Structure 1
């Protein structure tokens, strides 16, 4: 049985195909990507206008596609909802004394 290890979470980078700038201020200068808004190299972790086209950019600048999701298993007891007793007009409309 082989155990596959997921890569560590990567930080978002401006050369990603899914990365967008909310101010349309990206400018490619050779190997670096510049922000025309701040006149500095683009840093998605600190920029409030950084957008991911697939909506996977996490608040700390980490790409959400590289993060493994944690799912929590619910116990069947949590899914059970207590019954509600009805009377009067509601009982006449529904025809049952208890719902849920």
Structure 2
């Protein structure tokens, strides 16, 4: 799929869209610091082909002679291993934990102990 990166403001915000005039695919901001959407200027972003020229604006892929499409490229890598399949940065994703199960386990454990004590007493 051919993708075009379009600069939409001076703050280095790019819109990725299909060259055939399709809908916007993703919007990302270029920054050396990690952002919620993976971008080619991030200090953790690497090109497996070593073809990324990040000194150009927008970052340029020397492999295909076109602007880098960031996380959508099959050669995109994160040295922190935080690049998620949908292009989000794993550093910004909160893990879902469920403490409700722990409370239920504690109640079950207390009930089990009480039953054992009552069984020992013969009640």
Q: TM-score range by the shorter chain?
A: 0.5 to 0.7
Whose RCO is larger (CA < 8 A, sep 6+)?
A: 1
Which of 42, 47, 51 aligns to 1:21? It is 47
Unaligned runs of 5+ in 2: 1-34, 107-123
CA RMSD of aligned residues (A): 2.1
Is 1:59 aligned with 2:82? no
In structure 2, C-alpha distance between the alignment counterparts of 1:18 and 1:31, rounded to whole Å:
18
The number of residues matched between the two structures is 70
TM-score (norm 1): 0.59
Q: Distance in 1 between matches of 2:53 and 2:85?
A: 23
Which position in structure 2 is the counterpart of 1:81?
none
SS of aligned partner of 1:65 = helix
Whether 2:64 is the aligned partner of 1:38: answer yes
Unaligned runs of 5+ in 1: 1-8, 78-100
CA distance in 1, matches of 2:55, 2:66: 11
Report the structure, 1 or 2, having the larger helix content. Answer: 2
**TM-score using structure 2 length:** 0.49
Which stretches of structure 1, 4 residues or longer, exceed 2 Å deviation after superposition? 28-31, 72-77
Cα distance in 2 for partners of 1:18, 1:29 equals: 16
Q: What is the alpha-carbon distance in structure 2 between the residues aligned to residue 68 and residue 59 of structure 1?
A: 16
